[in-house]
């Protein structure tokens, strides 16, 4: 058997997933020994044209990170899908929309207006906006179309596996690559490199009783580093987030609540809905007025419960009637 | 007129594209650097509680 | 939008609200035919995931019906419904849904007529708000 | 059978009759319930839900639910429009004659007379019926006082003068508050004690229930009209029930209900013809008037219309007020053996006391009943259940026209056609009455012939007909949970009769949704839990002993755990009751009885240290003071841990030997101590430690206690000056006559306010009590020889420990918190554990006796069974995804779900779970799902309506 052929690409992403791949350190050499990387913009000098020229399905595995934000992302996603046998959504953005997905709370035009005009740090006297086609004396320049909403990878192409995380833990990436190399793959559509159990399962913090009278913002209290965040009134998405980022979970280890980047556990489709359900259920009050007050302590439900998953959520984006 | 398109620009963080136009002599007539990427952090950070920002903005660039 | 008929899904508890809703029929009250009712055991068991799914699939409004506070068949399941509903409503508002599209109402055995009036009121309100266009 | 009869006659189907019937039927006996009217629920049917944001506990919902249970209970035979005319024989062997009124209308809804047919099959009988019964429970209720003969209140003359009960119905029926001319009232007056506490008209008693009732009306009225000013004219505020004091404070503080202590002399039309003018004499004697838009008369309770006739016919005695006479320490026993009384026939009561007495009467009846249990329900055999697990869904849809109710509006033929074409529907048929026996037989046949494995029935309410159709499935060899119902009648046809086309469209949607859900139905099974027929009773006071005796009489083993060295509890210090009963004689009698029962195992000097298990199978550990520990296995638990008195730190108590608390005075009176005999002046201060900020509850029994002591003192020495400093005299019910007697004997009652509390000083030899006399409007000094403090009743110190061990909640005051404040008052949400007596709230000895019996009766509804069946609808946890987050654990009202630490997954105790699904709605991983209502089923319904 010849060496496997890999492609690694990023859509609307920060490059953190690529760094996570690099963070496999010397193990990267093992990957290189087992596989040829045909395309990886952050590291290698291959161009889109090189990909276009490849035969269909000539790439064995494509690791696609980043969300689909514009027509270029979509185009390349489709291109790579066509050329790849296995498409892996790498990281939260590809799987869920990720942080760039928060843009789905805003209008497309509002984003453009602020970035190119309204923002205090923008100096654009002529009010120039990026154009899809710009005519220059030499010809026409083309920029991709900026979509109305951020999409997840599987909203534009078929995805075979999901490798969650923002970014995915390097060790998990390595495990998955090894599984691919050894042909030891789970059924199509599976989430790999993560557990079926939610994060709480591997959380070392002590859980006593889940009854909360106040929700705090992290800067508002000194919290007990040994005890469950939720029980102290700090919103932690651990219960509705897949575990597996590391053991113990990495944010928890750093004394911060889980923010949900590993996405929903297997039986959940809308992570935010499930999390808000759990959070509201632990409110310890039977007084409608007090309940209202306690809930007001959660200042940004959407940004809290859908921080990484807005485009993947059932409602996907804000509605502007 | 000949055009050289460097797409994408590689081995750096972010998305970029360069179009180079050569004249008949084969010299560079003009070159355009383009950034096809926009995510809009400036906007979706607006209105968010301050404590969430340190958890959002690192995702501007992860390299 | 004159011909707009809102699609409404209602989740009602097996106890007081079932008795109340049914007594609207027994008493011969009438209300607009826009509501589709789904029986659950307790208003406190309604899963926000299902509600959001209903909106996603094109429901213009969702109403949860339970026993009056303090009178839950399971003692305090309806308080749970209340807590969950308030946070869900707050979240949905951030999604751009008018808060009138998600309602939580208490109905008792003797409130058949009130329930009929309520359905009329909810239907009217949703007619005024217009259709909740598909999200996807 | 031991020759006794296993059947009871209950007369009256109000709250008390319903509760007594259910308790007996649940304990396995047969009940003949006779009701004069066409509907059940008696006076409770007057309660109407007003639909305000927060439930004001009219309890109609719960009473209706219980009424439904009565109607559908296989061991209760209901005779509506019937009257018991004769009962002959002996306890255990009575023969009763029932006459039924010929004009009865069987088609009326038995729940609420105004509703048309609820097609529950009712048994019909000939017009005169003979019944063999072992005992008779009289729950004939009361009559509301008719204020028409009292011209001063203008009732009948002015349309806007209504009784409180009329007011209640009015708000409901008009769904709002309006004057007779349609205006919205701004000012509304309620006048208390109309027809009560009024010796002039022959009603000297306090009607007990009206203070709370009116309070509720005022609050509800205020909810409807936000700027309303409700005013209550009253003599004493007497909402004495558990948690009522908080309700009263809320009425004043949150709702701004105004209270005017006064006597109302007349209600007249205002001179300008607008509204009504109330003339009243205030406490200080001044006469004032105030103008109102509406006046509500808080009318009292009188003995039932039929009381006299029945007492004559049955040979039971009445008390001087026309209510049923009951024996002092057996408050539910009448003068005729085998006849028991409960509810308002025994005296004015609220719903809470009535229901408790009803349970108590049921317990008392059990003693004369046969041992044979559950022999009145024929054992039915079913074909073996078909295993449908490997089969693809084959849904049968059965549609009902319900006579014309559905068929007139919904096009059932086209609906049938529609349903037949739905995917996975293998069979569809319709009939005029789906509930008819013929159609149910056809249904069974169709299930067999077509191999159906899911059934959807489009007819009426699951509430009324669910069990009938589940039964049909069982008879056809299908698991009963493979059935779903669509209420085409009440949720579609009847409410859309004006638009048949849309109604049919909606019916199609509803059927499609239910068929979509049916696809995901699974067979569910009711689990059987074993029942250890023995009880643990915590507390050896009167309540605990009464409970234990009731249980032992019926043959159950009882472990009676008492903390101290002797049985008797608080009552050991009490000499006699207000009514004159000899407490010590009763107590020693009770203790002897306990000793006489080999079934009662008394553990003195003992405390409960551990407790685990579930209803039917508990294991407790009891430890003696000497450190011995033993394990007890039992099926149910009764908490009767009692209360304790407050040792005041005010008014020089503990500093000056002349200051004592009520119970100490009682002991001294009994011992005839010199200082009591020589006292010239004795002052008593009421509400010491009660009804204040620290303890915002009424201790309930102290008013009667002080009146009792005052009468004793005046009897000893008529010349003695006895002062009672009070805030409200709460001598509710017949206790009022002793208050009257005390005043006649010259006891001086002085009222004080919270903002001007009495002061006590030792001035030399003199103990000086200073009080602001509101009536005289001046400070008054009483130089007392002895000062007696009516101190609060506190929950036992270790209640919180007990609460933690037994895992049942306490209320804010530290007393045990029952399942529902007004009904189910001795039950907890957790099955198999009960509470009675002072552990629940402060009560008198007589009340403890029937509460103890009530707890025993409730316990026996479980103990009488060999095993208990759960419902199939319970929560289940998918362990492969549960992360042990514990969100569910704190939510469950029954303690049925908990995270097992070793495995870090939540597990449901299906024997305890009641299937509310609260944990499932909350579960963040979707691991917890409610069987029969799983997410996939809900999603399928949503999808079927809105498109996948």
C-alpha–C-alpha distance, residues D382 and D470, integer Å = 12
Residues of C in contact with A320 (CB under 8 A): 96
CATH of domain A4-100+150-191: 3.40.50.700
First to last CA, chain D: 61
Q: What is the predicted pLDDT for the residue at D52?
A: 63
User: Does the domain made of D874-930 have the CATH classification 3.30.70.20?
Assistant: yes
Alpha helices in D476-556 (DSSP H): 500-518, 542-553
- Would you say residue C92 lies in a domain? yes
This model of the complex carries an ipTM of 0.95
Treating both helix axes as pointing N-terminal to C-terminal, what angle do D845-863 and D351-366 enclose, rounded to 10 degrees? 60
Euclidean distance between CA atoms D856 and D556, whole angstroms: 11
**Dihedral, A300, A301, A304, A305 alpha carbons, nearest 10:** -170
According to CATH, the topology of domain D530-643+795-867 is FAD/NAD(P)-binding domain (3.50.50)
Contact check, Cβ <8 Å, C48/A273: yes
Answer yes or no: is pLDDT of A159 > 80: yes
A273 to C90: CB separation less than 8 angstroms, yes or no:
no
Q: What is the mean pLDDT of chain A?
A: 94
3-state secondary structure of D873: coil
Q: Which of A156-165, C20-29, D227-236, D721-730 has the lowest mean pLDDT?
A: C20-29
Q: Residue C107 is part of which domain span?
A: 8-129
3-state class (DSSP) for residue A203: coil
Phi, then psi, of C59 in degrees rounded to 5: -70, 140
Chain A closest CA to C135's CA: distance in Å? 6
Q: Using a CB-CB distance cutoff of 8 angstroms, which residues of chain D are in contact with residue C106?
A: 51, 53, 55
Residues of A in Cβ contact (< 8 Å) with B12: 42
D472-490 mean pLDDT: 95
Predicted local confidence at residue D18, as pLDDT: 96
Which chain A residue's Cα is nearest to C55? A315
CB contact set of D934 (below 8 Å; sequence gap of 6+): D520
Residue among B43, B49, B62 whose CB faces A115 most closely: B43
Mean pLDDT of chain D: 91
Cα distances (Å, whole numbers) of residue D663 to C75, C112, D689: 38, 53, 15
Q: What number is the average pLDDT over the span A271-285?
A: 97
Topology of the domain comprising D7-141+304-366: FAD/NAD(P)-binding domain (3.50.50)
Give the three-class secondary structure for D426: strand
Please compute the mean of the pLDDT values over residues D803-823 and round it to a whole number: 89
D647-793 folds as FAD/NAD(P)-binding domain (3.50.50)
Nearest Cα to Cα of residue D863 among D545, D529, D590: D529
Instruction: Flag whether pLDDT at D114 surpasses 60.
Output: no
C2 lies in a domain?
Answer: no
- The answer as to whether C3 is a domain residue is no
Determine whether the interchain pair A12/B1 forms a contact, defined as Cβ–Cβ distance below 8 Å: no
pLDDT(D467) > 60:
yes
Assess whether pLDDT exceeds 60 at residue D376.
no
Chains A and B touch (3+ CB pairs under 8 A): yes
Q: Is pLDDT larger for residue D586 or for residue A1?
A: D586
- Specify the CATH number of the domain D144-302: 3.50.50.60
Contact: C130, A319; criterion CB under 8 Å: no
> In angstroms, rounded to a whole number, what is the distance separating the alpha carbons of residues C108 and D47?
12
Query: Which residue ranges make up each domain of chain A?
Result: 4-100+150-191, 106-147, 199-305
Query: What is the pTM for the complete model shown?
Result: 0.84
D2 pLDDT above the threshold of 50: no
Residues comprising chain A, all counted: 321
Q: Which of A281, A301, A318 sits opposite C96 (nearest CB)?
A: A318
Nearest CA in chain C to A320: C96
Which residue among D61, D114, D918 places its CB closest to the CB of C45?
D918
A314 vs C contacts (CB less than 8 Å): 49, 52-53, 55-56, 135
- What number is the average pLDDT over the span D622-634? 95
Whether the Cβ atoms of residue A283 and residue A202 lie closer than 8 Å to each other: no
DSSP structural state of residue D493 = I
Is D373 within 8 Å of D555 (Cβ atoms)? Answer: no
Residue D593 CB coordination number (10 Å): 16
Give the architecture-level CATH label for domain D395-518. Answer: 3-Layer(aba) Sandwich (3.40)
More confident residue, D461 or D256: D256
Query: How many Å apart are CA D642 and CA D210, to the nearest integer?
Result: 28
3-state secondary structure of D404: coil
C135 is a domain residue: no
Res D456 pLDDT > 90: yes
How many angstroms separate the CA of residue D904 from the nearest CA in chain A?
7
State how many domains chain C has.
1
Would the pLDDT of C25 be above 60?
yes
- D to A contact (≥3 Cβ pairs closer than 8 Å): yes
Window from A12-26, D363-377, D567-581 with minimum mean pLDDT = D363-377
Please report the sign of the dihedral spanned by the C-alpha atoms of residue D816, residue D819, residue D822, residue D827: negative
Distance (Å) from the alpha carbon of B49 to chain A's nearest alpha carbon: 7
Nearest to A308 by CA among A166, A121, A163: A166
pLDDT digits (tens, 9 = 90+) for A218-263: 999 999 999 999 999 999 999 999 999 998 999 999 999 999 999 9
Angle of the D583-596 helix axis to the D542-553 helix axis, nearest 10: 40
CB crowding D897-913: b at 16 or more within 10 Å, else e: bebeeeebbbebbbbbb
CB contact under 8 A, A277 and C133: no
**Could B56 and A307 be called an inter-chain contact, meaning their C-beta atoms sit closer than 8 Å?**
yes
Asked if the model's pLDDT at residue D300 lies above 90, the reply is: yes
User: Residue D64 has what pLDDT?
Assistant: 82
Of C52, C53, C95, the CB nearest to A318: C95
- The predicted pLDDT at position D51 comes to 60
| Inter-chain touch A278–D885, beta carbons under 8 Å | yes
Predicted confidence band of residue C135 (pLDDT cuts 50, 70, 90): low
CB contact under 8 A, C82 and A288: yes
Question: What per-residue confidence (pLDDT) applies to D107?
Answer: 46
Q: How many CB atoms lie within 10 A of CB D891?
A: 23
Is C134 within a domain? no
Assigned domain for C44 exists: yes
Question: B28-63 pLDDT, tens per residue?
Answer: 999 999 999 999 999 999 999 999 999 999 999 998
Shortest Cα distance from C48 to chain A (angstroms)?
Answer: 6
Beta-carbon separation of B38 and A100 below 8 A: no
Q: Got the DSSP string for D773-811?
A: ETTTTEEEEEEESEEEEEEPEE--TTHHHHHHHHT--B-
Helix (H, G, I), strand (E, B) or coil at C45: helix
Nearest to A74 by CA among A17, A150, A140: A150
Query: Could you tell me if D233 and D278 are in contact, meaning their C-beta atoms sit under 8 angstroms apart?
Result: yes
CB D585 within 8 A of CB D562: no
pLDDT above 80 (res D662): yes
| pLDDT band at D574; cut points 50, 70, 90 | very high
To the nearest whole angstrom, how far is the Cα of D510 from the nearest Cα of chain C? 7
C67 in a structural domain? yes
CATH number of the CATH domain containing C110: 3.40.50.960
Asked whether residue D277 carries a pLDDT value surpassing 60, the answer given is: yes
pLDDT at position D319: 95
Task: Please state the domain extents for chain D.
Answer: 7-141+304-366, 144-302, 395-518, 530-643+795-867, 647-793, 874-930
Nearest CA in chain A to B12: A42
CB contact under 8 A, C87 and A276: yes
Distance separating alpha carbons of residues B26 and D840, to the nearest angstrom: 99
What is the rounded distance in angstroms from the CA atom of residue A80 to the CA atom of residue A61? 10
Render pLDDT for D309-364 as a digit per residue (tens, 0 to 9).
Answer: 999 999 999 999 999 999 889 999 999 999 999 999 999 999 999 999 999 999 99
Average pLDDT over residues A151-176: 95
Average pLDDT over residues A127-139: 90
Classify each residue of C103-127 as buried b or exposed e, where b means 16 or more C-beta atoms within 10 Å of its C-beta: bbbbbbbbbbbbbbbbbeebbeebb
Contacts of A270 in chain C (CB under 8 A): 48-49, 52-53
Out of D880, D899, D924, whose CB is closest to A277? D924
Mutation choice for A interface testing from B43, B45, B49, B63 by most A CBs within 10 A:
B43
Pairwise pLDDT comparison (A124 vs D391), residue with the higher score: D391
Q: Indicate yes or no: CB of C114 within 8 angstroms of CB of D175.
A: yes
């Amino acid at each position: 058997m010849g060496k496997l052929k890999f492609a690694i690409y990023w859509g609307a992403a920060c490059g953190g997933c690529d760094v996570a791949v690099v963070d496999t350190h010397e193990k990267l050499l093992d990957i290189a020994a087992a596989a040829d990387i045909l395309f990886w913009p952050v590291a290698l000098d291959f161009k889109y044209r090189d990909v276009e020229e490849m035969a269909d399905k000539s790439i064995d595995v494509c690791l696609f990170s980043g969300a689909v934000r514009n027509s270029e992302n979509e185009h390349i996603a489709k291109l790579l899908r066509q050329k790849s046998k296995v498409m892996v959504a790498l990281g939260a953005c590809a799987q869920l929309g990720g942080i760039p997905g928060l843009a789905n709370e805003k209008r497309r035009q509002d984003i453009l207006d602020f970035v190119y005009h309204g923002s205090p740090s923008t100096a654009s006297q002529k009010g120039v906006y990026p154009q899809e086609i710009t005519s220059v004396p030499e010809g026409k320049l083309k920029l991709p179309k900026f979509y109305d909403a951020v999409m997840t990878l599987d909203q534009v192409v078929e995805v075979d596996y999901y490798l969650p995380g923002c970014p995915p833990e390097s060790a998990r990436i390595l495990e998955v690559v090894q599984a691919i190399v050894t042909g030891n793959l789970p059924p199509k559509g599976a989430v790999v490199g993560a557990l079926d159990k939610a994060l709480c399962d591997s959380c070392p913090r002590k859980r006593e009783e889940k009854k909360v009278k106040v929700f705090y913002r992290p800067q508002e209290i000194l919290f007990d580093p040994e005890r469950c965040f939720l029980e102290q009134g700090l919103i932690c998405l651990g219960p509705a987030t897949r575990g597996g980022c590391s053991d113990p979970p990495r944010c928890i280890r750093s004394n911060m609540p889980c923010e949900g980047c590993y996405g929903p556990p297997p039986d959940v489709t809308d992570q935010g809905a499930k999390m808000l359900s759990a959070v509201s259920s632990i409110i310890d009050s039977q007084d409608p007025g007090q309940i209202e007050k306690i809930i007001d302590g959660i200042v940004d439900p959407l940004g809290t419960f859908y921080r990484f998953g807005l485009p993947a959520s059932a409602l996907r984006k804000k509605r502007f009637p | 007129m000949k055009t050289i398109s460097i797409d994408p620009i590689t081995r750096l963080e972010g998305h970029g594209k360069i179009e180079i136009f050569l004249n008949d002599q084969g010299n560079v007539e003009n070159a355009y650097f383009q950034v096809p990427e926009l995510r809009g952090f400036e906007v979706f950070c607006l209105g968010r509680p301050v404590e969430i920002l340190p958890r959002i903005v690192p995702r501007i660039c992860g390299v | 939008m004159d011909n707009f008929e809102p699609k409404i899904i209602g989740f009602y508890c097996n106890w007081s609200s079932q008795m109340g809703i049914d007594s609207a029929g027994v008493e011969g009250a009438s209300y607009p035919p826009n509501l589709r009712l789904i029986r659950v055991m307790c208003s406190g068991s309604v899963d926000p995931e299902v509600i959001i799914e209903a909106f996603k699939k094109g429901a213009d409004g969702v109403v949860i019906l339970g026993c009056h506070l303090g009178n839950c068949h399971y003692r305090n399941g309806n308080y749970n419904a209340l807590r969950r509903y308030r946070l869900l409503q707050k979240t949905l508002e951030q999604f751009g849904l008018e808060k009138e599209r998600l309602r939580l109402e208490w109905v008792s055995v003797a409130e058949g007529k009130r329930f009929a009036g309520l359905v009329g009121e909810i239907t009217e309100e949703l007619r005024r708000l217009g259709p909740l266009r598909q999200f996807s | 059978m031991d020759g006794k009869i296993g059947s009871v006659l209950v007369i009256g189907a109000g709250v008390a009759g319903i509760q007594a019937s259910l308790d007996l039927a649940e304990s396995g006996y047969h009940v003949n319930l006779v009701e004069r009217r066409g509907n059940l629920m008696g006076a409770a049917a007057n309660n109407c839900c007003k639909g305000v944001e927060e439930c004001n506990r009219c309890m109609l919902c719960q009473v209706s639910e219980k009424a439904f249970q009565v109607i559908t209970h296989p061991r209760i035979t209901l005779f509506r429009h019937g009257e018991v005319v004769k009962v002959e024989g002996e306890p255990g062997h009575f023969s009763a004659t029932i006459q039924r009124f010929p004009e009865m209308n069987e088609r009326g809804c038995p729940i609420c007379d105004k509703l048309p047919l609820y097609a529950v099959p009712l048994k019909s009988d000939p017009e005169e019926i003979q019944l063999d019964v072992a005992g008779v429970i009289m729950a004939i209720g009361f009559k509301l006082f008719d204020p028409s003969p009292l011209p001063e209140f203008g009732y009948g003359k002015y349309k806007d003068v209504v009784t409180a009960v009329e007011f209640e119905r009015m708000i409901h029926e008009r769904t709002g508050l309006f004057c007779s001319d349609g205006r919205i009232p701004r000012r509304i007056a309620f006048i208390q004690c109309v027809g009560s506490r009024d010796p002039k008209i022959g009603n000297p008693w306090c009607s007990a229930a009206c203070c709370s009732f009116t309070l509720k009306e005022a609050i509800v009225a205020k909810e409807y009209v936000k700027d309303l000013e409700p005013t209550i004219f009253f003599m004493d505020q007497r909402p004495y029930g558990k948690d009522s004091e908080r309700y009263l404070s809320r009425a004043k503080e949150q709702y701004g209900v105004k209270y005017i202590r006064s006597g109302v002399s007349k209600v007249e039309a205002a001179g300008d013809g607008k509204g009504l003018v109330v003339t009243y004499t205030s406490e200080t004697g001044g006469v004032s008037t105030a103008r109102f838009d509406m006046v509500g008369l808080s009318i009292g309770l009188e003995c039932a219309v039929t009381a006299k006739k029945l007492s004559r016919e049955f040979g039971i005695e009445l008390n001087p007020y026309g209510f049923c006479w009951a024996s002092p320490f057996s408050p539910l026993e009448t003068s005729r053996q085998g006849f028991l009384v409960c509810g308002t026939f025994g005296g004015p009561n609220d719903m809470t006391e009535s229901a408790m007495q009803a349970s108590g009467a049921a317990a008392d009846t059990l003693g004369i009943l046969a041992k044979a249990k559950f022999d009145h329900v024929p054992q039915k055999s079913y074909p073996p259940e078909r295993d449908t697990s490997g089969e693809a869904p084959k849904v049968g849809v059965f549609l009902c026209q319900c006579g014309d109710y559905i068929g007139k509006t919904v096009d059932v033929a086209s609906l049938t056609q529609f349903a037949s074409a739905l995917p996975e529907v293998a069979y569809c048929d319709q009939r005029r009455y789906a509930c008819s026996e013929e159609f149910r037989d056809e249904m069974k046949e169709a299930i067999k012939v077509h191999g159906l494995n899911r059934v959807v029935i489009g007819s009426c309410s699951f509430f009324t007909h669910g069990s009938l159709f589940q039964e049909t499935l069982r008879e056809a060899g299908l698991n009963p949970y493979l059935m779903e119902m669509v209420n085409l009648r009440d949720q579609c046809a009847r409410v859309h009769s004006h638009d048949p086309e849309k109604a049919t469209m909606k019916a199609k949607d509803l059927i499609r949704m239910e068929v979509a859900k049916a696809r995901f139905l699974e067979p569910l099974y009711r689990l059987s839990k074993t029942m250890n027929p023995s009880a643990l009773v915590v507390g050896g006071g009167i309540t605990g002993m009464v409970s234990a005796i009731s249980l032992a009489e019926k043959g159950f083993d009882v472990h009676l755990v008492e903390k101290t060295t002797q049985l008797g509890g608080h009552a050991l210090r009490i000499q006699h009751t207000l009514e004159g009963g000899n407490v010590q004689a009763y107590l020693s009698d009770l203790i002897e009885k306990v000793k006489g029962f080999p079934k009662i195992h008394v553990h003195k000097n003992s405390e409960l240290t551990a407790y685990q298990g579930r209803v039917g199978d508990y294991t407790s550990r009891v430890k003696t003071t000497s450190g011995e520990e033993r394990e007890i296995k039992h099926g149910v638990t009764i908490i009767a841990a009692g209360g304790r008195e407050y040792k005041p730190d005010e008014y020089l108590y503990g500093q000056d030997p002349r200051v004592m608390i009520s119970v100490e005075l009682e002991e001294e009176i009994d011992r005839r101590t010199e200082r009591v005999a020589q006292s010239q002046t004795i002052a008593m201060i009421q509400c010491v430690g009660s009804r204040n900020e620290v303890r915002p509850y009424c201790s309930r029994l102290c008013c009667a206690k002080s009146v009792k002591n005052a009468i004793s003192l005046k009897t000893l020495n008529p010349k003695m000056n006895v002062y009672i400093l009070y805030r409200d005299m709460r001598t509710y019910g017949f206790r009022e006559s002793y208050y009257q007697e005390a005043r006649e004997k010259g006891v001086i009652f002085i009222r004080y306010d919270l903002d001007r509390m009495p002061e006590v000083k030792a001035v030399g030899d003199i103990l000086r009590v200073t009080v602001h006399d509101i009536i005289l409007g001046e400070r008054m000094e009483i130089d007392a020889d002895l000062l007696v403090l009516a101190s609060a009743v506190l929950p036992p110190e270790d209640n919180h420990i007990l609460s933690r061990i037994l895992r049942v909640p306490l209320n804010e005051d530290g007393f045990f918190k029952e399942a529902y404040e007004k009904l189910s008052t001795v039950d907890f949400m957790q099955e198999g554990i009960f509470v009675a007596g002072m552990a629940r709230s402060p009560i008198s000895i007589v009340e403890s006796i029937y509460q103890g019996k009530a707890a025993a009766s409730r316990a026996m509804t479980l103990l009488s069974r060999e095993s208990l069946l759960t419902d199939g609808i319970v929560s289940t946890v998918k362990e492969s995804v549960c992360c042990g987050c514990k969100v569910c654990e704190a939510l469950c009202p029954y303690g049925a779900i908990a995270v097992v630490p070793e495995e870090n997954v939540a597990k449901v105790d299906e024997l305890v779970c009641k299937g509310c699904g609260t944990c499932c709605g909350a579960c963040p991983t979707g691991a917890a799902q409610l069987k029969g209502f799983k997410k996939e089923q809900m999603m399928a319904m949503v999808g079927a309506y809105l498109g996948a």
